[in-house]
Chain A
């Protein structure tokens, strides 16, 4: 008799734990395909190569781990920015808390509506980029999401959006287990900025599939909520057509477990992609993982991965970044940097930078560093009368700032910068 394999048993448990919503036949087919694919690949386990540094157990265990709510006495992120606000509470769209789904140059509808229509462009996107992103590396939690998610937004930018869409994820129940799936389609020449913020749920699984057409631009800035006990697993799957731009930036502080995956398929020529993030972790129960996979299959495209982490008191950070340049993808310019500032000997940073190149006329570079605070710079600040803790924070902020500068919008990058400074100041006082 075959020995039961926990990997496959867990995938069954996961699929059974969520009720797959109804929808049009094509949507149900897409969900069934994803479910079958999850059954075949199995749930993630620690011994999987891509889960070597991050234990996925808390993402797949039942009952859902409890996450206490954080009482926040500060202005919510992006509140000072003119934007269309859309709110999810524990992963469920809340129309009452949200603005009307109307924005010039953009069509927005709830996922359930789009997926119940017999004819909808979403058919060509839902689960499509996710399935494409399962090769060569398996991403079971994304397959699970496609199989069972009933909540999310279906967004199509037909022109230049006049303001950003801000999606706020409110965490309201201590054991909420959320599945959110967004589809984003940016038509040729169109542009859209999506802002995401908030913890979302006790356990939060989100997938965003983004199709960026010719000469279109997608900008994404995300801050992940500070509820410390939350577990978060996100995937972004992007496809870039000719002359398109894709930019994504994430700021993370707090969180027992966060894994952000970004999988980009560069199929168009002359594209520009940037994926970056900063994370500030404190305590031995903080674990943050950035996993990026960019496939270059076209000519003259540029991609940047810029990640900075500051870790203290036993916090752990992970970076797994890959640039795959396919045969014939000449003039690719791929850049990757991941750096961690460890404030003590107990904190850990694991980095796995990878380049795989099958074209001969490309520029690809990667770097990864781990270091402590620069003692000379610190002494210089101290000698001018800046107190130790404040001087240290100035240097941390400067270090993280290099990644924040990747945000191609001065107001947004200033906003992120100010918020980090504010948190640091509060922590000192």
Chain B
């Protein structure tokens, strides 16, 4: 599904290397988690994969289902099946949440040569999915993320993910700023999308989220590289001992 080889990334505007050779292979239907201390490059990797400007790829490759991701525009990556749930979902005053969702869904369908959803088809689908995530009609009507609480913003991300049905989902610290109940709700939303084919990359600081979204593989990232990979136990180890031991071990 997602294959990253020796990915090296720096900032466009200053001479600073952030990713220093990341290797990562996520197979169909797999759930991988990336943990790591602040500043290790986790969020940068998610942005680079989604196509945010301001970064410079200096080496390596990233492919989604064999197609070169790094060569595509952000909207093409989305249409190809990539989805990034933002750590900080952006507020867009003046753009209605529903209008935004429908535009996005139909733009992707159009890009994939699929028929666009009619207003009523769309409405029916969005209502069902919103209900599962406890998103009420008022939230759908409001401008995108404007006036949403932290939890509402994250649920809105998952709603978008459900509506766009991507094949590769990256969740960038989706648990940040969530209380236990909100985290459960978000995790349930994610789990509902696990169908054995769709793959996930869950970026998190805490093991707690991984109690709810059970990963197949856990990676530890530090200083722009993945320094250790293992099973779910690795996350527990981090939770109990912090990163110090692992960092010392590989040093």
**Residues in chain A within 8 A of chain B (CB atoms):** 375-377, 379-388, 390-391, 394-395, 397-399, 401-402
Cβ of A384 and Cβ of B95 under 8 Å apart?
Answer: no
Query: Residue of A at shortest CB range from B85?
Result: A383
Cβ of A386 and Cβ of B107 under 8 Å apart?
Answer: yes
Cβ of B79 and Cβ of A385 under 8 Å apart?
Answer: yes
B78 part of interface (Cβ distance < 8 Å):
yes
B52 part of interface (Cβ distance < 8 Å):
yes
Q: Which of B57-65, B86-94, B202-210 is near enough to bind chain A?
A: B86-94
B164 part of interface (Cβ distance < 8 Å):
yes
CB distance from B125 to the nearest CB of A (A): 16
Given known A-B contacts A386-B75, A388-B73, A398-B92, A375 and B53 have beta carbons under 8 A apart? yes
Cβ of B93 and Cβ of A398 under 8 Å apart?
Answer: yes
Cβ of A385 and Cβ of B92 under 8 Å apart?
Answer: no
A interface, by DSSP: helix, strand, loop or mixed? helix
Q: What are 10 A-B residue pairs whose CB atoms fall within 8 Å in the complex?
A: A379-B74, A380-B144, A381-B104, A383-B83, A383-B84, A385-B75, A385-B78, A390-B107, A394-B100, A398-B92
C-beta contact mask, B164-193 vs A, less than 8 Å → 1, else 0?
100000000000000000000000000000
CB distance from B107 to the nearest CB of A (A): 5
Q: Which of B51, B92, B93, B103 contacts A383 (CB 8 A)?
A: B51
B50 part of interface (Cβ distance < 8 Å):
yes
Interface size class of B (residues with CB under 8 A): 20 to 34
Cβ of A390 and Cβ of B103 under 8 Å apart?
Answer: yes
> Which B residues touch A397, using CB under 8 A?
94-95
Cβ of B50 and Cβ of A383 under 8 Å apart?
Answer: yes
Q: Which of B84, B89, B94 contacts A399 (CB 8 A)?
A: B94
CB distance from A138 to the nearest CB of B (A): 38
CB distance from A310 to the nearest CB of B (A): 13
Cβ of B103 and Cβ of A386 under 8 Å apart?
Answer: yes
> Which B residues touch A386, using CB under 8 A?
75, 100, 103-104, 107
B108 part of interface (Cβ distance < 8 Å):
yes
B111 part of interface (Cβ distance < 8 Å):
yes
Cβ of B89 and Cβ of A387 under 8 Å apart?
Answer: no
B199 part of interface (Cβ distance < 8 Å):
no
CB distance from A388 to the nearest CB of B (A): 7
> Which A residues touch B44, using CB under 8 A?
none
> Which A residues touch B77, using CB under 8 A?
383
> Which B residues touch A390, using CB under 8 A?
103, 107
C-beta contact mask, B101-137 vs A, less than 8 Å → 1, else 0?
0011001100100000000000000000000000000
Cα separation A401 to B91 with both chains bound (whole Å): 16
Cβ of A380 and Cβ of B75 under 8 Å apart?
Answer: no
CB distance from A384 to the nearest CB of B (A): 4
Cβ of A382 and Cβ of B51 under 8 Å apart?
Answer: yes
B160 part of interface (Cβ distance < 8 Å):
yes
